[in-house]
């Protein structure tokens, strides 16, 4: 475990989702330094299945040595967010650190607030045991998870960084290794048991399956078979790419400078590409001639919805409908291109 240094004493930390799980773990870690914690979460009354409210979290934070301000906040409600910020400023003077969950915003915000506010995203390498994981994974899933403590320690490492440390997508285990942590069994719910990889990170399926087999586990990924992509057929996907191709220009290519590969499942699926590096740009069925900078995996239905503006790429990514490998900054550039094409699709 990473020891506290007292560096956050007097700092104000605004944490969404701090009534339970990872958010609360980060709050308690900062509270041990004597930090002021703004608990921004929806749960004001006890939930029949999920433990904790903003008020019970406030008591735990005070007991850990910090100060707490519980605020009822639904992050979809701008007025509630503004009200919570105003209350934080009124009670603590200002807030110096914030934890949010919208990682797709990181690069844009990091650039916008460069020199003033550091903006970073933190992801777990493995599944983390929370109440939500119990509901999704069922009985026994906790043995394949790490405790929330690893995310709290990783967040604490980020909090200690200067403002120049910004625009980073950080994996919990990696940053803790940089801090000298070597024993990660202390973070495991069941030390020595194979761990599930996080849903949004790539993992070597063969290695996970091999480890799980030794414990008698049968993960779902073992059942997945790599199938050759079906032949391209006329349909919504092909029509979408035709419209995209007609919309390309040297200006778009010059502004983007990236090759995108799409791995689509379902009717008209298979491997498709969008080349925004070559002169004039190009689209087509199959793999691109140059290595892709970004690989996006999703269903054909969601692909068409995304390019026609009916599904926001950010929401597709956060909900697991869209998997992204490669350069995230270039993935965001493609989102801007989609917005330009919505009226034509």
Please list the active-site residues. 95
Structure token digits, residue 217: 């586990």
Q: Quote the CA–CA distance of 311 and 213 in Å, as a whole number.
A: 38
DSSP collapsed to 3 states, 64-79? HCCEEEEEECCCCCHH
Spatial distance between the Cα atoms of 275 and 272, rounded to a whole number of angstroms: 10
Length of the chain counted residue by residue: 345
Question: Order of strands across the sheet with 12-16?
Answer: 67-72, 36-41, 12-16, 97-99
Nearest to 172 by CA among 152, 144, 191: 152
DSSP-H helix ranges across the chain? 21-31, 54-64, 78-92, 106-112, 131-137, 149-159, 172-178, 205-213, 236-247, 250-256, 300-307, 313-318, 328-341
Rg (CA), the chain: 22
Q: Between β-strands 97-99 and 323-326, what pairing exists: parallel, antiparallel or unpaired? A: unpaired
Contacts with 94 (C-beta within 8 Å, 6 or more apart), sequence order: 12, 88
Q: Please state, in angstroms and as integers, the Cα–Cα distance from residue 20 to each residue in 17, 37, 103, 206, 279, following that order.
A: 7, 14, 20, 33, 51
The dihedral region occupied by 222, where left means phi > 0, alpha psi between -120 and 50, and beta the remainder, is alpha
| DSSP 3-state percent helix, strand, coil across the chain (nearest 5) | 40, 15, 40
| 321 half-sphere exposure, CB direction, 13 A CA radius | 15
């Amino acid at each position: 475990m990473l020891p506290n240094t007292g560096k956050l004493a007097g700092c104000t930390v605004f944490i969404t989702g701090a009534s339970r799980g990872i958010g609360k773990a980060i709050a308690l870690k900062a509270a041990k330094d004597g930090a002021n914690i703004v608990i921004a979460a929806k749960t004001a009354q006890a939930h029949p299945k999920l433990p904790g409210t903003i008020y019970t979290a406030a008591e735990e934070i005070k007991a850990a040595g910090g100060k707490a301000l519980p605020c009822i906040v639904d992050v979809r409600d701008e007025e509630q967010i503004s009200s919570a910020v105003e209350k934080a400023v009124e009670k603590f003077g200002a807030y110096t650190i914030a934890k949010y969950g919208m990682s797709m915003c990181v690069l844009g915000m990091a650039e916008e607030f460069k020199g003033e506010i550091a903006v970073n995203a933190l992801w777990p390498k493995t599944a983390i045991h929370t109440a939500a994981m119990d509901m999704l994974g069922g009985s026994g899933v906790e043995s394949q998870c790490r405790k929330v403590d690893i995310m709290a320690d990783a967040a604490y490492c980020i909090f200690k960084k200067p403002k120049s440390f910004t625009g980073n997508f950080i994996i919990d285990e990696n940053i803790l290794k940089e801090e000298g942590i070597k024993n990660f069994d202390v973070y495991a719910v069941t030390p020595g048991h194979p761990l599930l990889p996080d849903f949004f990170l790539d993992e070597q399926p063969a290695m996970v399956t091999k480890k799980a087999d030794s414990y008698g586990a049968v993960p779902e990924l073992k059942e997945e078979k790599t199938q050759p992509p079906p032949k391209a057929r006329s349909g919504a996907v092909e029509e979408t790419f035709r419209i995209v191709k007609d919309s390309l220009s040297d200006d778009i290519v010059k502004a983007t400078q990236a090759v995108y590969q799409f791995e689509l499942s379902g009717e008209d699926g298979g491997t498709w590409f969008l080349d925004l590096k070559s002169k004039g740009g190009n689209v087509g069925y199959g793999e691109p001639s140059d290595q892709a900078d970004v690989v996006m995996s999703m269903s054909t239905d969601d692909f068409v919805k995304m390019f026609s503006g009916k599904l926001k790429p950010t929401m597709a990514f956060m909900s697991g409908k869209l998997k992204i490998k490669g350069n995230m900054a270039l993935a965001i550039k493609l989102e801007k291109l989609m917005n330009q094409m919505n009226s034509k699709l």
